[in-house]
Structure 1
Amino acid sequence: MNKLLTAGLIGLSLSLGALTAPAFAETPAAAVSAGDTPIADIAATPEGKAALDKNLPGITSHEAYDQFKGMTLKQVQPMSQGAITDDQIKALQADLDKLKK
């Protein structure tokens, strides 16, 4: 029974791994949103990381980055105590839009 359960959980985790969101490099450019794409997906390419670091200096080197990198900026913004503004997200989006061209 334990072997069957373990095999099932391994199979499930492998299946769920295939369902995770693609990295920014694999995401169609139109689908990348500064506010709605996970921060780690934006930072997955050198260009995306540079845009993040330009508009939100220090975000990718923040001590808690590993804890919030799977979240979107809209999710992190309320917890940032004003450090992430709507204007910064808009500026990041403008830079990401330039990468599409």
Structure 2
Amino acid sequence: MSISKITGAVVLVMGLSLQSMAFAENTPTYSTTATPISELLDNPKTRVVMDRYFPSLADHPQASMFRGMTLKDIQPFSDGRIQDKQLKAVDHDLAKLK
């Protein structure tokens, strides 16, 4: 095998690797521990999930105060209204979104 064929193969493999990395970086990943509530409420796709599990969250009187926080961040202040199993279910549904 000639050097030019080996070099071409290496360049091809590197290009495919970079392309898949770029695709992975452009695919949004949402979670209850890392994504701010504002992003989950403002995105139409994630809003559907939020409304399913927490239908009154967007209209909460203190929504402006916690929009920069995550669901996990506000859980301790929810008086038990945000349960671990709900967060797990939300994460499961968010992971399905592209």
TM class by smaller structure: 0.5 to 0.7
Partner of 2:11: none
Query: What amino acid is aligned across from residue 70 of structure 2 in structure 1?
Result: T
Q: Distance in 2 between matches of 1:52 and 1:89?
A: 10
TM-score, normalised relative to structure 1: 0.65
Kindly indicate whether the alpha-carbon contact (under 8 Å) linking 1:51 and 1:95 is maintained by their aligned counterparts in 2: yes
Partner of 2:85: 87
Count residues with an aligned counterpart.
Answer: 73
Kindly indicate whether the alpha-carbon contact (under 8 Å) linking 1:51 and 1:96 is maintained by their aligned counterparts in 2: yes
Partner of 1:53: 51
- Whichever of the two has the greater Rg, that structure is 2
1:98 Cα deviation after fit: 1.3
Structure 1: stretches of 5+ with no match in the other structure: 1-26
Task: Provide the secondary structure at the position in 2 that maps to 1:67.
Answer: helix
The root-mean-square deviation of aligned C-alpha atoms, in Å, is 1.4
- Sequence identity (%): 38
Kindly indicate whether the alpha-carbon contact (under 8 Å) linking 1:49 and 1:60 is maintained by their aligned counterparts in 2: no
Structure of greater relative contact order (alpha carbons < 8 Å, 6+ residues apart):
2
Structure 2: stretches of 5+ with no match in the other structure: 1-25
